[in-house]
Structure 1
Amino acid sequence: MDVRQLEYFLAVVDRGGFNRAASALYVSQPSLSQAVRALERDLGAELFHRIGRRVVLTEAGEALIDPAREAVRSLETARATVASVRELRSGRLDIAAMPSQAVEPLTTLIRSYTERYPGVAVAVAAAFTARDVIAAVRTGAVELGLLASVGSVADKEVRSHVLGEQRFVLIVPPTGPFAGRKAVNCEELAGQRLIVGQPGTGMRAYVDALRDRGIDFTVAVETEHRVALLPLVLAGVGLAVVTESWRGIARRTGADVLDIEPATALQICLVSRSGALSPAAAAFWTNATSPTANT
């Protein structure tokens, strides 16, 4: 039994005969009759009494009308739902992002995407390292990932697109060290108390590299919670080395943001699984990687 057979059955019921039903469905009368006969064989019961050119529903036929209409309506609903997702009138998009990149460029990318596709809900999952982002994409936990890396993404199981770069900056309180400055040399971080990320992150790799160069500083706080960075800086606990994705929000909270010289930057990459993407994910990828995307 298939839904097409049920649609043919209902057409005969609604049109009062096989000839009228065939005309309404734009099929030949023999094809319609064969489909109804096949349905009767599947059900093991006759659905119509055939009296000359007239048809009269049997008891089994009467009993089938409501279930048949429900099945056909369910299929129509399913088709409409799929169509709405394909046209991005509704749906859901799952993205994994590292904390700093979730500030920017993800905020700008989501704003642009939701302006175009307001019916699609975007769910952002936290991933603390580039490896975590790639794993989430590779295993199918999410469709897209946003990460920062020192070099290109080498994993062959995902595809990647470089969206740009983010340099490292220093967030300082307005009345603390380096007040009024616009830039600071990395060697000037010697003797300072720094707030850093956990091992495995780009910001932690950067400050560890500074220490390896002989720049001696004190780690005041190591935190996985990026939301704690600005409160800790403004409270005078230490200075934070972060990517410039934090520049705007840090200044709005009253902190100063200094470029660290010489400039060192991370590549910002959007990654996806290698196979076909859902319509929602494909649209996000296209929107984010277009030449006019504001990242």
Structure 2
Amino acid sequence: MNSDDLECFVRIVSSGSLSKAALELGADHSTLSRVIARLEGDTQVRLLHRSGRGVVPTEAGKALYELSMDVVTRMENARNAIRIYQCGGPRKLVIAAQPTIARISLIPLSLRLKEQFPNTQLKIIEGLGARILNLLASGEVDIALFYLPKNTAELKVDVLLHEHVSLIAPPAHTHIGDTFPVSGLGGVPLILPSTSYGLRVLAEGLAQQAGVSLNIVAECDGSTSLTKHMVQAGLGSTILPVAAVADELAQGKLRAARLVEPEVVRQIGIATSKNRAPIVGHWAMMRIFHEEITHIVKSGGWPGAVIA
């Protein structure tokens, strides 16, 4: 029993006919008959029922078909991986990410991509979640890394990480401990985006669940950096993952208390659009993204995040 025989078997069962499978594979009917005879000899069971209308798998054949599908998928992935190295990768790759994710991941990702695909031109876009969604929808972005919205129906998404969210307060707020209950958000002056995406939606949802009203003293639709400076100045607090404020926490410029009761976690995913064809070497690119993100987290470079 070998992978070629299993691939032939899958094609035969899928088409329901030796003749159709032979046409699809560009092989002789007799060749496929020998494949079935070889498999049945190896397994010592009948795998197919033959009739004038074609072939159907026996119970043993169904079991082998299901197991063979995994082998066929792995073989196809292996071929795709080799193919991308042969063609040298896509001519251009456009990657988008939200600011915190971009700061942590895009430099090591870019280095890895250029090492393996030196002829591929990279274009990096940093933007807020709503903009990234629009770019994905329009097909202007090949791959995006961002905090996943509730509705991802128009995207092909793999969840990469789970990341804890914290209350981020001015350094003078020494009364805030290591954790902070969600029910207490109503008593905190907050600085949040005005957009109907991301942290604003998250905060409003948490407040509704806790039965409290948010005290939003300022709205900031600029970068995370601007929001952090507003918090440092004492204008209010905000909610962010600790990775977004790691430097400021280390320098004592901000304080962080992990939100609890319930614990608040966001999903970070890698996404492509369903409205466009996959890029050349899609599988190999995704593998690189997964490997690099995993390495960053395991090496301590992404505080507050865990592999999904």
Q: Which has the larger radius of gyration?
A: 1
Question: 1:194 and 1:235 mapped to 2: Cα distance?
Answer: 13
Tell me the distance in 2 between the aligned counterparts of 1:147 and 1:120. Answer: 23
Asked whether the 8 Å contact 2:149–2:197 carries over to 1, the reply is no
| Structure-2 residue corresponding to 1:99 | 99
Indicate yes or no: 2:239 matched with 1:237: no
Identical pairs, percent = 19
> TM-score when scaled to structure 1?
0.59
Are 2:156 and 1:159 aligned? yes
What's the offset of the Cα at 1:171? 1.3
**What SS does structure 1 have at the residue aligned with 2:227?**
helix
Closer/same/farther in 2, CA of residues 119 and 240 from structure 1, 3 Å limit: farther
Structure 1 residue 127: deviation in Å?
3.9
- State the shift of 1:276 in Å: 2.7
Q: Cα RMSD over matched residues?
A: 3.2
SS in 2 for 1:251: helix
**CA distance, structure 2, for counterparts of residue 195 and residue 208 of structure 1:** 13
Q: How do 1:279-290 and structure 2 match up within 5 A?
A: 279=281, 283-290=284-291
SS at match of 1:93: strand
Task: Provide structure 1 residue ranges, at least 5 long, that are not aligned to the other structure.
Answer: 1-82
In the alignment, which residue of structure 2 is the partner of 1:259? 258
**Equivalents in 1 of 2:108, 2:201: separation in Å?**
26
Amino acid corresponding to residue 197 of structure 1 in structure 2? P
1:294 to 2:296 alignment: yes
Separation in structure 2 between the aligned mates of residue 294 and residue 189 of structure 1, nearest angstrom: 31
Partner of 1:227: 225
| Alignment partner of 1:201 is 2:202 | no
User: For residues 98 and 237 of structure 2, what CA distance do their matches in structure 1 show?
Assistant: 21
TM-score with structure 2 setting the length: 0.57
Equivalent residues of 1:169, 1:241 under 8 A apart:
yes
Task: Check whether the contact 1:203–1:243 (CA below 8 A) recurs between aligned residues.
Answer: no
Distance 1:222 1:163, change over 3 A: same
Structure 2: gaps of 5 or more residues? 1-83, 298-308
Distance 1:230 1:282, change over 3 A: same
Checking the alignment, whether the CA contact within 8 Å between 1:167 and 1:263 is kept in structure 2 is: yes
In structure 2, the CA distance between the partners of 1:113 and 1:250, relative to structure 1 (3 Å rule), is farther
| Partner Cα distance (1:92, 1:178) in 2 | 51
Change (3 A) 1:218 1:273: closer
Shift of 1:177: 5.0
How many residue pairs get aligned? The number is 207
CA distance in 1 between counterparts of 2:116 and 2:194 reads: 36
CA contact (8 A) 1:174 1:256 kept: yes
Q: How far is 1:277 from its partner? A: 0.9
1:187 aligns to what? 183
- 1:277 corresponds in structure 2 to 279
2:139 aligned counterpart, secondary structure = coil
Are the equivalent residues in 1 in contact too, given 2:173–2:255 (CA < 8 A)? no
Equivalences for residues 64-213 of structure 1 within 5 A? 86-87=87-88, 92-106=92-106, 109-110=109-110, 112-113=112-113, 122-129=122-129, 132-151=131-150, 153-155=152-154, 158-176=155-173, 178-179=175-176, 181-212=177-208, 213=210
Deviation at 1:95, TM superposition (A): 1.5
Q: 1:286 to 1:173 in 2, by over 3 A?
A: same
CA distance in 1, matches of 2:180, 2:145: 29
TM-superposed deviation, 1:237: 0.8
Instruction: Go from structure 1 to structure 2 and tell me whether the alpha carbon gap of 1:217 and 1:273 turns closer, same or farther (over 3 Å shift).
Output: closer
Deviation at 1:174, TM superposition (A): 2.0
1:192/1:218 contact within 8 Å kept? yes
